[in-house]
Amino acid sequence: MNAALPRVVVLGSGAGSNFEALAEQAGGHYEIVAVGSDKADAPILDRARRHAIPVFSITPFDYPEHTARDAALARAIAGARPDWVALAGYMRLLGAETLAAAPGRILNVHPALLPAFPGLDTYRRVLAAGAREHGSTVHFVTAELDSGPPILQARLGIAANETVESLEARVKTMEHRIYPQALAWCAAGRVAMRDGVTWLDGKRLTKPIIVEETDE
């Protein structure tokens, strides 16, 4: 472990491809010191073990009551002494104690061009709405679902023959670029949330930094 690097705890419930991207692109920017899940058998935990990163799980089975589960998650996070917490496919709302474990320093990646399409099932809903573009947003986490101030946004045009599967694959490829980038900026102290908005290099962001799929 490198004591000098900002410490990051990642939380996820599923496949963990974004965790993998964060781990692979950590190089000198930050160190992932623990990975937690609400599912004891989540694939993201196996990925973390392969990187020799300590894991923990705080499950509804062990903590059926929401307040106790929130407190246990907050304790597990605090025990890892993180500078930043990165949600990577974590499928539960954070409670007040968990939010307070790293106040203003929790990030999420959401597969939509927020504020459009918060919530679940975004790919199907975007295609059903006949949208022309889609993407993903890295944003600060607040108590409201998917509504904290955005940092980086990946945008792509929707193809005529687009399917849920093809769109998800394209969006995930973009997430694997923008999430490590945003976390590196945060770890370097370039990005912060103040007064409910995002600041980058001392300037208030009125909209997220946009990365197009075609950008290299």
Residues that bind ligand GRF (CB under 6 A): 12, 14-18, 88-89, 109-111, 136, 172, 175
Question: Least distance in Å: CB of 179 to ligand GRF?
Answer: 8
Nearer to ligand GRF, 43 or 79 (CB): 43
Nearest distance from C-beta of residue 108 to ligand GRF, angstroms: 7
Cα separation, 13 vs 92, whole angstroms: 9
Structure tokens at 108: 């999420």
Residue whose CB is less far from ligand GRF, 136 or 198: 136
Task: Using CB positions, name the residue nearest to ligand GRF.
Answer: 89
Q: What is the C-alpha to C-alpha distance for residues 99 and 92, in angstroms, rounded to an integer?
A: 12
| C-beta closer to ligand GRF: residue 111 or 149 | 111
C-alpha distances (whole Å) from 159 to each of 16, 128, 166, 170, 174 are 26, 13, 9, 11, 16
Minimum CB separation of residue 17 from ligand GRF in Å reads: 3
Nearer to ligand GRF, 89 or 208 (CB): 89
Q: What is the 8-class DSSP label of residue 152?
A: E
Say if residues 141 and 107 touch (Cβ distance below 8 Å). yes
The active-site residue, picked from 110, 134, 139, 176, is 110
Q: Rounded to the nearest whole angstrom, what is the least distance from the CB of residue 143 to ligand GRF in the complex?
A: 17
Catalytic site includes residue 110: yes
Which segments of the chain does DSSP mark as H helices, in order? 17-24, 43-50, 66-79, 96-101, 122-128, 164-187
Q: Which residues are marked as active site? A: 110
